[in-house]
Amino acid sequence: MSGADSCGTSVMIETEKFSVSEIFGENVFNDSVMQARLPKKTYKRLREVIEGGHELDLVTADVVAHEMKEWAIEQGATHFTHWFQPLTGVTAEKHDSFITAPMENGKVLMSFSGKELIKGEPDASSFPSGGLRATFEARGYTAWDCTSPAFVRHDAAGATLCIPTAFCSYTGEALDQKTPLLRSMEAINDQALRLLRLFGNTTSKRVTPSVGAEQEYFIVDREKYLKRKDLVFTGRTLFGAMPPKGQEMDDHYYGVIRERIGSYMKDVNKELWKLGVSAKTQHNEAAPAQHELAPIYAECNVAADHNQLIMETLKKVAGRHGLHCLLHEKPFAGVNGSGKHDNWSLTTDDGINLLDPGSTPHENIQFLLVLTCLLKAVDKHADLLRASAADVGNDHRLGANEAPPAILSVYLGEQLEDVIAQLVSTGSATHSIKGEMLETGVKTLPDFMKDATDRNRTSPFAFTGNKFEFRMVGSQASIAPPNVVLNTIAAEVFAEACDILEQAENFDDAVHDLIKKYAIEHQRIIFNGNGYSEEWVVEAEKRGLPNFKTMVDAIPAYATDKAVALFEKFGVFNRAELESRIEIEYATYAKTINIEARAMIDIASKQIIPAVIRYTTDLANSWNAVKATGIADVSVQSELLAETSGYLADVKRALKKLTEVTEQAASMSEGKEQAVYYKEEVTVAMEQLRVPVDKLEMIVDKDLWPMPSYGDLIFEV
């Protein structure tokens, strides 16, 4: 069955029916598969390893590997890979087939050992290491993370068994996103359990950060995408004039999903469900061609793996539909960019949410201690949280009147803000604001109880019922770094609180005093107002809150004595690992801006300037032809020719300047100085080149302009 979407593009409408419950997790070696296929003793031992953090022995690993291989072959797999997350921003994998040495009869054996399951050896020197590995020191290790299920991925390469793994150097330093995340999860588990024991909880055995990452993305037509070399090289438009209509009518937000996009979303969901990713929510976002996908919460490291799968699937499936998925934080200037709201809470193995305030939060002492501990953590380590969300693309988004500002603050809502105000002013909280009946004024509509507090979309760290929503994270970034920081800073403050309370003679008095102390000392971090306003920038400075406007400004937070002490105390990072990440961050920033600058130079030189010259030549020929008649006014052509030539001269000057500063930047040694130069000189020169080019786009004949416009890209999908 076929139809047409609102742009007139012919679309095939799928009528295939399938049961979500039947396909969900069918490509995952999950607990139910393990329980069905593994011997009881092996399954029990593996569950002990997963739940208790014990080391997996080789005998158990051999049995698991054999059954995993047999199951994968049944799914059509011919190869396996250790699927890991190096510090490149994407995942990595090396495929090996299950084939072993040929037999005498010409056949081959298919095998997969416990050793192959547990450990791999990729080249550690070819991935970013920040100096931890020299070029000649090649050995690195991948180690199976058995807490994140293996899965079979089906694509053009066939079916591949993917084994989620950590990646570390020969000397044990973390070279990836997963290793520090797992370390931070152990830290928060240990300290949260200490806190729960103080409140008499003897049954909970584990506390896990529970995370749900809302993924925003843009979809454009692939044919048009390929005609934009800036999108191809950098993921964002380096040039582009705004179309007559942007997002000002708000008609795209939550609007009816176009059939071409709906068909794409359906396939994305189906792929993700098969991989055990609980994709739940989908809708149009604020900007034209922008959309969002949100999963149900999962344990922190699984959520991080799932988010990588979501990003990979969004890109892969787009190609099948003649589309292209843009995950850059700001692919189009002038319209909303894309973030990734990281929803974070703490949950026990027996279902207790430590961030659930209950119906009377002023009486929930355990919750108030957790809450005020987190206020202290965010206030003390605001710089680290900001750094954890820093990437080059996010510099275009944070604080740009569309996303959270670059200033960390906490939104609590009216109810909890009132409870904290009571604690600060009187030392105790005696009541909680209740939700009221919302009367619609329409008889046929039911009245209902509204929440006791509104939401605040301008807050970078907002309490939203029973979780915090960290809204700073960029759409193409891994969610591992922000969750590493959240887990570790929470663990630190929980540990400090437990150290005090475990020594207290009177626990009730001590916990009351500690809640009051933290509320008073860290109330400056609470802000329920408009985080986009200039007034807040001024107010935040008065409060002494840091404001790191760019990635380069934020990077040094990882190197402070405070940060090193924090991470080393809980074994999440050592100093060498932190310093290596700083080096990688500076290099990543410089390389990214260098690619963008060179792309601008290439596009301006080879496409923009020749197109404008063709236009001015046609205009001049027209001027001469009309003038030769002697009967027509050529003032319009003269004005256009002068205006266009003026902008062309501006382009030439700006291009020369950008070329000079880019060459100078590239000649510098990698590090902070080079990154700062790219920020202060190269990005400024890039903007100076863009201004006249965008003005020329509004003058030059559309048929002569060498690339699709914003309107072509964001409205014709």
CB 525 within 8 A of CB 352: no
pLDDT tier, 651 (very low <50, low <70, confident <90, very high otherwise): very high
Average pLDDT on 507-524 reads 96
Element spanning 461, H or E: strand 461-463
Distance between CA 151 and CA 387 in Å, rounded?
32
Whether the pLDDT of residue 711 is over 60: the answer is: yes
Give yes or no for residue 170 having a pLDDT over 70: yes
CA–CA dist 74, 63 (Å, integer):
17
Helices (H), 522-608: 534-543, 551-554, 561-569, 575-603
Average pLDDT over residues 272-279: 96
What's the pLDDT at 440? 67
Over residues 253-266, the pLDDT tens digits come to: 888 899 999 999 99
Per-residue pLDDT, 21: 86
Mean pLDDT confidence for 350-359: 94
Cα 146 to Cα 57: distance, rounded to the nearest angstrom: 12
Average pLDDT over residues 479-501: 98
Q: What percent of the chain clears pLDDT 70, i.e. is strictly above it?
A: 92
- Whether residue 288 contacts residue 247, with contact meaning beta carbons closer than 8 Å, is answered with yes
Residue 3 pLDDT grade (very low, low, confident, very high; cuts 50, 70, 90): very low
Q: Both tokens of residue 360? A: 């009377």
Provide Rg for the chain, Cα atoms. Answer: 28
Helix (H) / strand (E) containing 340: strand 340-348
Give the dihedral of Cα atoms 493, 462, 181, 293; nearest 10 deg.
170
pLDDT confidence of residue 1: 41
Give the pLDDT score at 410: 95
pLDDT tens digits, one per residue of 492-514: 999 999 999 999 999 999 999 99
Instruction: Return the pLDDT at 591.
Output: 97
Give Cβ neighbours of residue 430 (< 8 Å, ≥ 6 apart). 362, 422
Residue (of 404, 405, 283, 403) closest to 336 by Cα position: 403
Is the pLDDT higher at 15 or at 659? Answer: 659
Residue 4 has pLDDT above 50, yes or no: no
What's the whole-number average pLDDT of the chain? 90
Give the pair of three-digit tokens for residue 63: 């049995």
What is the average pLDDT across 156-184?
92
pLDDT digits (tens, 9 = 90+) for 554-578: 999 999 999 999 999 999 999 999 9
Give CA–CA dist 263/257, Å, rounded.
10
Alpha-carbon distance of 24 to 272, in angstroms, equals 8
632 pLDDT exceeds 80?
A: no
Contact 562, 546 (CB under 8 A): no
By three-state DSSP, how is residue 407 classified?
Answer: strand
| pLDDT average, residue stretch 373-381 | 98
The pLDDT score that the predictor gives to residue 395 is 93
Chain centroid to CA 70: how far? Answer: 35
pLDDT for 127 beyond 80: yes
Residue 516 CA, chain-centre distance (Å), reads 35
Distance CA 116, CA 130 (A): 28
CA distance 84 to 165: 5
pLDDT at 634: 67
**Does residue 8 have a pLDDT over 70?**
no
Beta bridge partner(s), residue 448 = 438
Does the pLDDT at position 10 exceed 60?
no
In this structure, what DSSP letter does residue 558 have? G
Q: Is the pLDDT of residue 39 over 50?
A: yes
Least confident of 95-104, 159-168, 174-183, 423-432: 95-104
396: helix, strand or coil: helix
Distances (CA, A) of 695 to 57, 615, 699, 713: 66, 14, 7, 18
Cβ-proximal residues to 477 (8 Å cutoff; 6+ apart), any chain: 89, 340, 389, 391, 394
CA separation for the pair 166, 127 (Å, rounded): 14
| Segment 481-495 mean pLDDT | 98
CA-closest candidate to residue 601, choices 550, 646, 649, 661: 661
Displacement of CA 3 from its chain's centroid (Å):
35
Q: What is the pLDDT of residue 6?
A: 44
Q: Report how many helices (DSSP H) and strands (DSSP E) the chain contains, helices first.
A: 24, 21
pLDDT value at 430 more than 50: yes
Q: What are phi and psi of 236, to 5 degrees?
A: -140, 160
Listed in order, the ranges of the chain carrying CATH 1.20.120.1560 are 588-715
Residue 108 backbone class (left: φ over 0; alpha: ψ -120 to 50; beta: rest):
beta
- 5 pLDDT more than 80: no
Alpha carbon 261 to chain centroid, angstroms: 22
Nearest alpha carbon to residue 167 among 157, 155, 175, 159: 175
Other residues' Cβ atoms within 10 Å of the Cβ of residue 197: 13
Q: What's domain 588-715's architecture?
A: Up-down Bundle (1.20)
Kindly indicate the confidence band of residue 251, based on its pLDDT and cuts at 50, 70 and 90. Answer: confident
Lowest mean pLDDT across 299-303, 435-439, 613-617: 435-439
pTM, whole model, 2 decimals? 0.93
